[in-house]
Amino acid sequence: MPLVDDPPQPVTLGAAIEGHAYYDADVATRGTQATMVGVNEEKITRPGWKLLGPYYAVTTEIRCDHDLPEATPGSSLPGCVFHHYIPYMIFDETTHPVVGPVAEHIYDAQKTLPSEWRVEKNRGTSNMLNRLTDESQIENNRATACVGTAPSCDEYPMASTYQGAAFSPPGDWSARTVPAAANSSQGGIMGNFYAANRILDQDAYWVWVKLADGRTSW
């Protein structure tokens, strides 16, 4: 990572001081990942004052990759994220009415399943979902959840998670028949979310829904 030496800036009460940092990771090859952190050095000077600092601050870790599953939109390109940030997958019936039946199913499941898979009561790691990318295991989740649910089956937690039906005990997952258009809309939202946040295998995320009447996951 190259060293960036920003020019001195005057300090004014209430004004922000800006700096720049540049990161360089070699993830051109398919299947590669790299993580990076930066160190900021700050010094404060004034005529007649003793030098204050230097102060050092470590930046948030950045992960770059070229490792999204090929079925994920944009998987042909590498990208970077602050991967310690836990993003939210959102199903909003007020802005995407077609996904409404899926949002309603998720809402009911979050309120009734033992693990809840939501964050209303606390923000511990136990109720986050983790992406699963192995297609055979995804199909196993789907087959376990969708027995007797035909033909357009919606599962929660989703089949593409490590909390899916094949990984969770009976009674801690839910399946419901929804319109095919709702299922398709959900798939598009999930694919775009996985791509935008570069969600790789085992990466965690929250799921938040908003229903047409204004009720939300939390």
Question: Stretch 170-194: mean pLDDT, rounded?
Answer: 96
**80: CB partners within 8 A, 6+ apart:** 23, 25, 62, 63, 64, 65, 198
Domain end call among 85, 115, 136: 85
Same domain, 124 and 19: no
The residue among 75 and 47 whose pLDDT is bigger is: 75
pLDDT of residue 8: 79
Summarize pLDDT for 32-63 with one digit per residue, the tens: 999 888 777 777 777 777 766 777 777 788 99
Res 84 pLDDT > 90: no
Instruction: Give the domain-ending residue among 85, 118, 147.
Output: 85
* Residue 129 near residue 117 (C-beta atoms within 8 A): yes
Per-residue pLDDT tens digits for 20-30: 777 777 888 99
Residue 47 domain-assigned (yes or no): yes
The Cα 145–Cα 115 span in angstroms is 16
Q: Which two tokens stand for residue 152?
A: 């357009």
In sequence order, the 6+-apart residues with CB closer than 8 A to the CB of 213 are none
The predicted pLDDT at position 4 comes to 63
Can you give the residue range of the structural domain that contains 46?
Answer: 1-85
Q: Which of 85, 113, 133 is the last residue of a domain?
A: 85
Listed range (28-42, 139-153, 182-196) with the worst mean pLDDT: 28-42
Give me the number of domains the chain comprises: 2
68 and 145 assigned to the same domain: no
Same domain (yes/no): 172, 121: yes
Same domain, 5 and 68: yes
